[in-house]
A = this chain, B = another copy of it.
Amino acid sequence: MDVEGIAMTRRATRQKNSRPTIADVARHCGLSKGTVSKALNIPAEQCPVREATRERVMQAAKDLGYRPSWLARALAKQKTHTVGLLYARLMPPVVGIYERLIVILAASLQHRGYHLVLVSLADSDEAGQMVLDQRVDGCVVIEEITPGIEAVLREAEVPVALVNLQTDLPGLKVLVDDHGGGRMVTEHLLGLGHRRVVFLDPTEKELAHFSHGQRVAGYEQAMRDAGLGGQARLVKSPVAAFAAETARSAERATGVIVYSHLEAIALMQALWRHGLRVPQDISVATFNDVPVTELTIPPLTTVAVPTREMGHQAGCRLVEEIEGRHEDEDDGEASQTIVLPETLVVRESTAPPPA
The yes or no answer to A71 lying at the interface (CB within 8 A) is yes
Min C-beta distance of A96 to chain B, whole Å = 8
How far apart sit A18 and B120, CA to CA, in the bound complex (Å)? 26
Taken residue by residue from 112 to 126, chain A's Cβ proximity to chain B (1 for < 8 Å, 0 otherwise) reads as 000111111011001
The yes or no answer to A99 lying at the interface (CB within 8 A) is yes
Q: Would you call A67 and B19 a contact (CB within 8 A)?
A: no
Min C-beta distance of A142 to chain B, whole Å = 12
Q: Would you call A71 and B135 a contact (CB within 8 A)?
A: yes
How far apart sit A126 and B81, CA to CA, in the bound complex (Å)? 12
Q: Contacts A71-B135, A157-B18 known; A115 to B118 CB distance under 8 Å? A: yes
Q: Would you call A134 and B71 a contact (CB within 8 A)?
A: yes
Binds B, one of A175-183, A230-238, A261-269, A335-343: A261-269
Q: How many copies does the complex hold?
A: 2
Chain B residue nearest to A106 in the complex (CB): B118
Min C-beta distance of A242 to chain B, whole Å = 15
The yes or no answer to A133 lying at the interface (CB within 8 A) is yes
Min C-beta distance of A181 to chain B, whole Å = 21
The yes or no answer to A91 lying at the interface (CB within 8 A) is yes
Q: Would you call B133 and A262 a contact (CB within 8 A)?
A: no
The yes or no answer to A165 lying at the interface (CB within 8 A) is no
Binds B, one of A37-45, A193-201, A248-256, A288-296: A288-296
Q: Would you call B91 and A103 a contact (CB within 8 A)?
A: yes
How far apart sit A132 and B135, CA to CA, in the bound complex (Å)? 19
The yes or no answer to A297 lying at the interface (CB within 8 A) is yes
Q: Would you call B82 and A117 a contact (CB within 8 A)?
A: yes
Binds B, one of A27-35, A56-64, A72-80, A215-223: A72-80
Give 16 new A-B contacts, CB below 8 A, not counting A71-B134, A82-B117: A67-B129, A68-B133, A69-B133, A71-B71, A71-B75, A99-B99, A102-B118, A103-B120, A110-B123, A110-B126, A117-B118, A118-B118, A262-B291, A265-B295, A269-B295, A269-B299
4 pairs of A and B residues whose beta carbons are closest in the complex: A70-B133, A70-B135, A106-B118, A117-B117
